[in-house]
Amino acid sequence: MTGGDARDVSRVEARRDSPPQTPIVGRAESNRPVRRRPRAPFRRTLIVVHRWSALTLGVLLVVQCTSGAILLYHGELFRASHRSFYQHTDAQTVITTEQAVDIVRTADPDFDVGWVGSDGGVIAVGDRARRTAYSVDPGTGRINTYAGITEGPLGLLVNLHDCAFGCPRYAGLVPLVNAKVPVLGLTWAHLILGAVGLLLVLLAVSGAFVWWPALKRWRHGFRVRTNKGRYARDRDLHNVIGIISVPFLLMWGVTGAAFEFPVVERVWLALTGGEAVNAMPQDSFTPRPTSGQQPPVSVSAASTIALQHVPGRLAYLMLPSADADYYRAAVAGAYSPYENRAFYSGDIFVYINAEDSADVEVVDSSHGRPVANTFYDKVFRPAHFGWLVNGWWRILWFLLALTPLMLAITGVSTWFVTLRTRRKARTRRGPAA
């Protein structure tokens, strides 16, 4: 390569690393034709869609993902902020779940007991609305404390991320978001959260397509140039962070949108070879009629029956009510994707007729369904919360959940550099004749 050729290549590389420039009239080189590789119409459209959808709705997406990053450690944060709730002795367990329920009912007759479970070494007895709970030491039978499990900063954060401030049982309720959207028939909260999920899918897919040609020069696709100026550095950071996080962003987008728009789940299952039905089991158990002469099933008996049908750990047990005359036991089996979730960690459900101990139904979404449905319910959906891995592995989830914030910072930075460059070029050209 001659010296002149090397200088030409250097100038081409310099132009590529700089933000878009507007030619300046009056310079000798402005008359030279500049060869630029034309962008395909489809790719150009994707760039426009990617850029303007991120600029217009990016704030909602950043708030949603950043709050979700914190809530990955919801269980750990709740335990750390409620230490007195989890105080217990190291003595052998002498209190059963049924005795714990009786202890709470005796201490607080007005407390509407709705469920009983275990977490952090204590027995938790919660109300039917799942707002509050008592903690009972299983070694002494002593009530530790009473706690609101949907209040405080964590409750506010859950209401923001899960409900767009539309959940009545969590702190920070905004009744307006529960109003119906005209024509669509769903609430504003559902629309906002579903739209954010679909936006995340759109940005992940369009960003991957925009980046894809870099595979022809794969080393350039994963490099970050720190000595080529702010524009080149931030653009490279945006591309590298974006392409690495695409699988997780796509997972969060699909599952997040499916929580609000069930059709998204059905479409995903259809595309992946599963049954186009909701994967999450529903409360559809109907107890068979009884003569009423049999003794009712006790809390301890229901717990035993559940573990006989599904070996594992009893996570929690919903007690019968006027609307549902049966127990619902959640069991964490050998593989439990919600193992690190506080209180409600089971994923296999056992329904037990409150009047007939022989009337039992086990609901496990991994049984009798295609692999795609099992994967969605046992891996894909739990991965949204990060509870299928321990706290150390969840650091990876936490960092990737912050990528929308980093993408917003780097994307806005390159956009401002481009605007400033074009503004300077117009100033140099002067007013149009």
Pairing of strands 143-148, 356-363: unpaired
pLDDT confidence of residue 218: 62
Taking residues 157-178, what's their average pLDDT?
A: 94
pLDDT of 188 strictly over 90: yes
pLDDT confidence of residue 214: 52
For the record, the structure tokens of 259 come out as 């929580």
pLDDT confidence of residue 20: 52
Between vectors from CA 215 to CA 213 and to CA 220, what angle results, nearest 5°?
100
The residue ranking higher by pLDDT, 11 or 137, is 137
| 3-state class (DSSP) for residue 348 | strand
CA separation for the pair 383, 421 (Å, rounded): 42
pLDDT confidence of residue 209: 80
pLDDT of 361 strictly over 90: yes
pLDDT confidence of residue 99: 95
- pLDDT interval class at 8 (50, 70, 90): very low
Are 311 and 362 a contacting pair, CB within 8 Å?
Answer: no
Write the CA distances from 358 to 13, 317, 355, 407, integer angstroms. 77, 17, 9, 56
pLDDT of 238 strictly over 50: yes
Interval 293-351: pLDDT, tens: 788 999 999 999 999 999 999 999 999 998 888 999 999 988 888 888 888 888 899 99
Tell which CATH classification among 1.20.120, 3.40.91, 3.10.450, 1.10.3470 matches the domain 75-153: 3.10.450
Q: Any alpha helices (H) in 341-402, and if so which ranges?
A: 371-375, 381-385, 394-401
**What's the one-letter identity of residue 29?**
E
pLDDT confidence of residue 362: 92
The residue ranking higher by pLDDT, 207 or 165, is 165
Contacts of the segment 354-357: beta carbons below 8 A, 24+ positions apart:
354/287, 354/296, 354/297, 354/302, 354/320, 354/325, 354/326, 354/327, 355/287, 355/290, 355/292, 355/294, 355/296, 355/297, 355/325, 356/287, 356/288, 356/290, 356/294, 356/297, 357/297, 357/301, 357/305
Nearest to 318 by CA among 286, 343, 295, 290: 343
164: exposed, middle or buried (Cβ count in 10 Å: 0-12, 13-18, 19+): buried
H or E segment and range at residue 315: strand 313-318
For the record, the structure tokens of 277 come out as 């039905």
CA separation for the pair 204, 219 (Å, rounded): 21
Nearest to 144 by CA among 104, 102, 99: 104
pLDDT of 384 strictly over 90: yes
Taking residues 31-45, what's their average pLDDT?
A: 60
The structure's pTM equals 0.82
Write the CA distances from 334 to 159, 280, 338, integer angstroms. 31, 19, 12
Beta-carbon contacts of 230 under 8 Å, excluding residues fewer than 6 positions away, are 413, 417
pLDDT confidence of residue 13: 43
Are 306 and 321 a contacting pair, CB within 8 Å?
Answer: no
pLDDT confidence of residue 215: 53
Q: What percent of the chain has pLDDT over 70?
A: 86
pLDDT confidence of residue 28: 43
Lateral strand order in the sheet of 326-332: 143-148, 132-136, 122-127, 113-119, 313-318, 326-332, 348-353, 356-363
pLDDT confidence of residue 151: 92
Interval 410-429: pLDDT, tens: 888 888 888 888 888 888 77
User: Token pair 């060869």 is at which residue?
Assistant: 35
pLDDT confidence of residue 6: 39
pLDDT of 370 strictly over 50: yes
Taking residues 23-28, what's their average pLDDT?
A: 44
For the record, the structure tokens of 81 come out as 């902020």
